[in-house]
């Protein structure tokens, strides 16, 4: 992945054409991955960059606090270092504002493209339980199925809860367990029984199938969207 540094806007040369070149190279890589239907990690990475740019645009004092500092004077006797903020340069500030005005709408366009692709993939997913659903379905297994592969990919999952001052959020931790070739013998129910016998971690684990009606890259697209969709599905049943 061709990353965009967190401080790409303020580090190094503060020049509109230079920063424009850096941003366009990054977005070209984003576009290439979206065309290949690969959403992650670019979608979440770009969202973080976009939110940072909007925050910088809206809060000039925040901009000042993120600028690099250069040493202007060292008092050896008092061991004090005074810093001259690069933001004091009006020309530099004008360049930053120009970069923000260029970058924010361009990045927003790519974000909308990514969200549309996310929604498209999510609409192609079908989720259903395997066997009896336990009272506590916040941990167990889920089976991921794409259209091209003849495999049922098994993950162990655990729903996690974290909160801030306003609300609670549900997340999910997953771990790859095994893969089963699809056959008459390897039904979803038989796979669940085999997992119970083999790993002896759950007597009746919550077990779900997440299958896709179309083929998508597993690691970059299908798995991360399947995980988020499964959280919402389980939450709706609690």
Long-range Cβ pairs for the range 194-200 (8 Å, 24+): 195/141, 195/154
pLDDT of residue 164: 57
Q: Which residue is associated with the tokens 């606090």?
A: 65
140: left (phi over 0), alpha (psi -120 to 50) or beta: left
Instruction: Render each residue's pLDDT in the chain as its tens digit; 238 residues.
Output: 578 888 888 788 888 999 999 999 999 999 999 999 999 999 999 999 999 898 888 776 555 565 555 545 445 444 344 434 555 556 777 888 899 999 999 999 999 999 999 999 999 999 999 998 888 889 999 999 987 678 999 999 999 876 555 556 788 999 999 999 988 899 999 999 999 999 988 989 999 999 999 999 999 999 999 999 999 999 887 6
How is 171-219 classified by DSSP, letter by letter? Answer: EEEEEEEEEEE--SSS-HHHHHHHHHHHH-S-SS-EEEEEEESS---II
The angle at the Cα of 76, spanning 71 to 78, to the nearest 5 degrees, equals: 100
pTM of the predicted model as reported, rounded to 2 decimal places? 0.81
Q: For residue range 106-121, what is the model confidence (pLDDT) as tens digits?
A: 999 999 999 999 999 9
Q: For residue range 64-78, what is the model confidence (pLDDT) as tens digits?
A: 565 555 545 445 444
């Amino acid at each position: 992945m061709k990353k965009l540094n967190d401080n790409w806007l303020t580090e190094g040369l503060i020049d509109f054409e230079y920063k424009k070149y850096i941003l366009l190279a990054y977005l070209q890589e984003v576009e290439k991955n979206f065309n290949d239907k690969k959403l992650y990690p670019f979608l979440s990475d770009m969202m973080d960059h976009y939110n940072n740019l909007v925050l910088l645009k809206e809060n000039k004092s925040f901009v000042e606090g993120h600028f690099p500092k250069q040493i202007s004077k060292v008092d050896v006797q008092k061991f004090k270092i005074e810093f001259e903020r690069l933001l004091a340069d009006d020309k530099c500030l004008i360049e930053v504002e120009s970069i923000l005005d260029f970058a924010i709408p361009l990045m927003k366009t790519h974000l909308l493209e990514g969200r549309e692709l996310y929604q498209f993939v999510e609409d192609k997913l079908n989720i259903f339980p395997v066997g009896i659903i336990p009272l506590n379905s916040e941990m167990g297994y889920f089976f991921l199925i794409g259209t091209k592969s003849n495999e049922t990919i098994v993950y162990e999952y655990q729903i996690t809860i974290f909160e801030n001052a306003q609300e609670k959020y549900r997340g999910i931790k997953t771990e790859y367990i095994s893969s089963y070739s699809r056959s008459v013998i390897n039904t979803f129910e038989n796979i669940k029984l085999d997992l119970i016998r083999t790993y002896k971690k759950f007597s009746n684990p919550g077990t779900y199938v997440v299958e896709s009606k179309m083929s998508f890259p597993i690691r970059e697209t299908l798995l991360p969207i399947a995980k988020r969709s499964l959280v919402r599905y389980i939450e709706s049943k609690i």
